[in-house]
């Protein structure tokens, strides 16, 4: 967990997200940031993680080095009125009004599972991520996208519902990045490799990793 809340001195709009999370069912990796210029980003759990109730025991898992833009919403299972019913109305939720069994309250919605965000993912302004979605490492979610299905690693998606626009790199580079998993490296090693990462030089990054291996 990060030891400080704000990456920039004097900037209260951007936070290291895992420094403010209290809910144990929300797991966030180091250096993942959230920016909010409308509301206080410290209230991420309340304002951005919605319909997230203990009854479903569902989790929000976000990897390391992700960038989450203002207004991003994570909508969990209680927002999904069941499609198994002949009615869209959530009768089981109001069990006392309709003399139904309290134990059947979960029949009011379809449970699609956890939301899992990989590492190094960029989620754009006011995007919506629905329950059960798994977003792969290095993916980009466009502003205002509504993500209802899994997103492959290093893929850019956008629209309502979100659809693939293109891959960020060719398959060869993606395979190398997935093998390297640079976000799992010690921080000092990442610092040393920043010129290669920032400049998009995958071959130099691989060369560095290879040299490190033979030094052991």
**Catalytic residue among 8, 43, 81, 144, which?**
81
77-115 residue pLDDT tens: 988 899 999 999 999 999 999 999 999 998 999 889 999
Report residue 150: phi and psi, to 5°. -60, 150
**In this predicted structure, what is the pLDDT of residue 78?**
87
Cα separation, 135 vs 207, in Å, equals: 28
Q: Is residue 214's pLDDT more than 50?
A: no
155-172 residue pLDDT tens: 999 999 999 999 999 999
In CATH, what number does 14-83+111-169 get?
2.160.10.10
Cβ(74)–Cβ(51) under 8 Å?
no
Cα separation, 210 vs 205, in Å, equals: 9
Cα separation, 21 vs 15, in Å, equals: 11
176-206 residue pLDDT tens: 999 999 999 999 999 999 999 999 999 999 9
The question of whether 144 is a catalytic residue gets the answer no
Kindly state the helix (H) or strand (E) to which residue 28 belongs, with its residue range: strand 26-28
Report residue 115: phi and psi, to 5°. -105, 125
């Amino acid at each position: 967990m990060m030891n400080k809340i704000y990456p920039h001195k004097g900037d209260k709009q951007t936070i290291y997200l895992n420094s403010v999370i209290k809910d144990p069912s929300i797991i966030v990796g180091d250096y993942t940031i959230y920016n909010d210029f409308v509301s206080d980003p410290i209230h991420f759990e309340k304002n951005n993680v919605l319909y997230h109730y203990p009854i479903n025991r569902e989790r929000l898992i976000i990897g390391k080095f992700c960038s989450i833009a203002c207004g991003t919403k994570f909508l969990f299972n209680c927002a999904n009125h069941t499609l198994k019913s002949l009615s869209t109305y959530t009768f089981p939720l109001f069990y006392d009004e309709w003399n139904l069994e309290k134990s059947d309250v979960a029949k009011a919605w379809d449970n699609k599972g956890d939301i899992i965000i990989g590492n190094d993912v960029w989620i754009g302004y006011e995007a919506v991520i629905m329950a059960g979605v798994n977003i792969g490492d290095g993916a980009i979610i466009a502003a205002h996208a509504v993500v209802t299905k899994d997103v492959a690693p290093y893929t850019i998606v956008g629209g309502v519902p979100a659809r693939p626009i293109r891959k960020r790199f060719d398959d060869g580079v993606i395979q190398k990045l997935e093998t390297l998993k640079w976000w799992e490296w010690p921080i000092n090693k990442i610092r040393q490799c920043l010129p290669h990462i920032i400049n998009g030089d995958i071959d130099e990054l691989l060369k560095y990793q290879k040299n490190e291996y033979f030094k052991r």
